[in-house]
Amino acid sequence: MLFWRALVGRVGLGVGLGVAACSHPPPRLSVELSARATAKAGVVSLVVADPVRAERLHAIYLEVVTLAHELDRSRLAARAQCRAQPERRAKGAAANDPIVSGALECLLAPPSGESRALVDRYALLMLEARALLTQREFEKLARMR
């Protein structure tokens, strides 16, 4: 009896953990960029023997983390800016209405604004990282995440 209870308990826990693992919502772009960069930052010294190159690469990956925060900030700022535009400024009771106030529209289709520049900056950092890496080193680091 005890064995079956323990077995059912473990299977239940396993299923619960499995469901949790499969059902989580997708992360934001900033989280993904940050995760890819931090996965490489910690091990770059083990891959790149030259300390000067390794240090610059480490700095690049850390800059991506800062840039990811900036991306989040700019996304929120773009939405706030979208809401503040005069044509979307609803008056009276309509100001609280999620649809008529334009709140939903600004959430679903905010202007790209600053985030475009930030993605450009990210691309340049990644290209600089490539210039510092041999193909073999790049592939080794790419396997981290």
Q: Which positions from 35 through 74 interact with other proteins, judged by CB under 8 A?
A: 35-36, 38-47, 49, 54, 65, 69, 72-73
Among 4, 24, 52, 86, binds other proteins (CB under 8 A): 24
Question: With contact defined as beta carbons under 8 Å apart, do 56 and 132 qualify?
Answer: yes
Q: Which is nearer to other proteins, 31 or 59 (CB)?
A: 31
Q: Which is nearer to other proteins, 8 or 139 (CB)?
A: 139
The Cα 20–Cα 132 span in angstroms is 39
Binding of other proteins at residue 82 (CB under 8 A)? Answer: yes
Among 6, 7, 11, 104, binds other proteins (CB under 8 A): 104
| CB proximity list for 47: less than 8 A, separation 6 or greater | 54, 137, 140, 141
Binding of other proteins at residue 80 (CB under 8 A)? Answer: yes
Q: Which is nearer to other proteins, 1 or 60 (CB)?
A: 60
Binding of other proteins at residue 118 (CB under 8 A)? Answer: no
- Both tokens assigned to 110: 């905010």
Binding of other proteins at residue 11 (CB under 8 A)? Answer: no
- Both tokens assigned to 31: 């989280």
- Both tokens assigned to 47: 């891959």
Residue 56's nearest CA partner among 135, 125, 143 is 125
Where does residue 127 rank: exposed (0-12), middle (13-18), buried (19+ CB within 10 A)?
exposed
Among 6, 7, 11, 123, binds other proteins (CB under 8 A): 123
